[in-house]
Amino acid sequence: MIVVMRREATSEEIQHMVKRVEELGLKAHVITGTERTVIAAVGDKREETRESLESGPGVDEVVPILAPYKVASREVKPESTQVQVLGMKVGAGHLGVMAGPCSVESEEQIVASAHAVKKAGATALRGGAFKPRTSPYAFQGLKEEGLKMLATAREETGLAVVTEVMSPEDVPLVAKYADVLQIGARNMQNYRLLEAVGRTDRAILLKRGASATIDELLLAAEYILNEGNPNVMLCERGIRTFEAHTRFTLPLASVPYLKQKTHLPVVIDPSHGTGHAYLVPDMAAAAVAVGADGLIIEVHPCPEQALSDGYQSLTFEQFEATMKRCQLVANALDIGLG
């Protein structure tokens, strides 16, 4: 950490801060500049000490040098993590494709979707049984009944099942049916939930919150990893910005940035990331080109009749065309897709 003193800081204040740095178990190096003094605090203490130093007398700001996350860091584990679930491989050169409807609506709907997305090349089936909805008046999901339908679809197709869990008390139930537990963007910092899924043996798909920084995303992953579950996939699904023509802004640069910082695989969600079905095929292809380890795409037998997210869902035909486009890019860049 670098403690930057104000220009007018007194030598007493500087001495005080040196003492504080040492009390915190760090070594202090004082550097006297032409206008300001800075104190370099050396040692492996992070967030917890930073906050404390910031409120010291005469301190202008404290600049962290080390990343706040540890076990998620590529510095700690240089080789890329690959998450494997049934037939799906995500990471380390393999690109997994999770596709299916936003919500499970009926056995017929989910089984038909599973067959269609499998045929087009998907390696997992997504579908929501517990739905976090902005409005209390919107469809909230079929709950356990929906989970059973997902299990049926898995039996029929062999596809791994990806579904969201919203509350710590639902974790055992959802984990009974699902192969991958999804943490939605709204729950990225629901720490009790992160701990609960961290204690299961299911793979986790952790979605980035709409205003979360990358450091916050990696610290959320760290909550899960620290409970002993190493199978975490990160998912970029778009951030909230002033752009109004897309529902969120999907920053694909997160992929190469994350891959430099962490060993965990990175999945892109072009459906939520754009919010419009007609933008999904091009953004899916771009996600493959940028080096994503996975895609998660909303597909519905009849988007116009969907109980949720119809406007951003592809039809079976559109999904098939999207997969063909992604396959062309993946082949060109020597990426194993599907």
Partner residues linked to 63 by β-bridges = 2
Nearest distance, CB of residue 264 and a copy of itself, angstroms = 16
**Residue 68 to residue 64: CA distance in whole angstroms:** 8
Q: Is 79 in the site for a copy of itself (CB under 8 A)?
A: no
- Residue selected from 12, 22, 75, 145 as contacting a copy of itself according to rule CB under 8 A: 75
- Residue selected from 168, 173, 301, 320 as contacting a copy of itself according to rule CB under 8 A: 168
The angle formed by the CA atoms of residues 108, 113 and 118, to the nearest 5 degrees, is 135
Angle 280-290/254-261 helices, nearest 10 degrees? 30
Q: Give the containing element (helix H, strand E) for 226.
A: none
Query: Which residue stretch of 84-92, 120-128, 130-138, 174-182 sits at the interface with a copy of itself (rule: CB under 8 A)?
Result: 130-138
**Residue 30 to residue 17: CA distance in whole angstroms:** 10
The residue among 112 and 212 lying less far from a copy of itself, judged by its C-beta, is: 212
**Residue 119 to residue 198: CA distance in whole angstroms:** 32
Binders of a copy of itself among residues 30 to 49 (CB under 8 A) are 31-36, 38, 40, 42-44, 46-48
Q: Is 20 in the site for a copy of itself (CB under 8 A)?
A: yes
Asked whether 217 and 188 are in contact (CB, 8 A), the reply is: yes
The residue among 96 and 238 lying less far from a copy of itself, judged by its C-beta, is: 238
Q: Is 319 in the site for a copy of itself (CB under 8 A)?
A: no
Binders of a copy of itself among residues 180 to 199 (CB under 8 A) are 186-187, 189-193
Angle 11-23/47-54 helices, nearest 10 degrees? 160
Q: Which amino acid, 106? A: S
Angle 316-332/107-120 helices, nearest 10 degrees? 30
DSSP state of 240: -
Q: Is 10 in the site for a copy of itself (CB under 8 A)?
A: no
Q: Is 106 in the site for a copy of itself (CB under 8 A)?
A: no
Q: Is 321 in the site for a copy of itself (CB under 8 A)?
A: no
Pairing state between β 37-42 and 94-100: unpaired
Q: DSSP 3-state assignment of 80?
A: coil
Angle 107-120/144-157 helices, nearest 10 degrees? 40
Nearest distance, CB of residue 7 and a copy of itself, angstroms = 5
Nearest distance, CB of residue 87 and a copy of itself, angstroms = 25
Binders of a copy of itself among residues 246 to 305 (CB under 8 A) are 246, 249-253, 255-257, 260, 273-274, 277-279, 282-283, 285-291, 303-305
- Residue selected from 107, 144, 216, 320 as contacting a copy of itself according to rule CB under 8 A: 216
- Residue selected from 10, 15, 106, 211 as contacting a copy of itself according to rule CB under 8 A: 211
**Residues touching a copy of itself: how many (CB under 8 A)?**
107
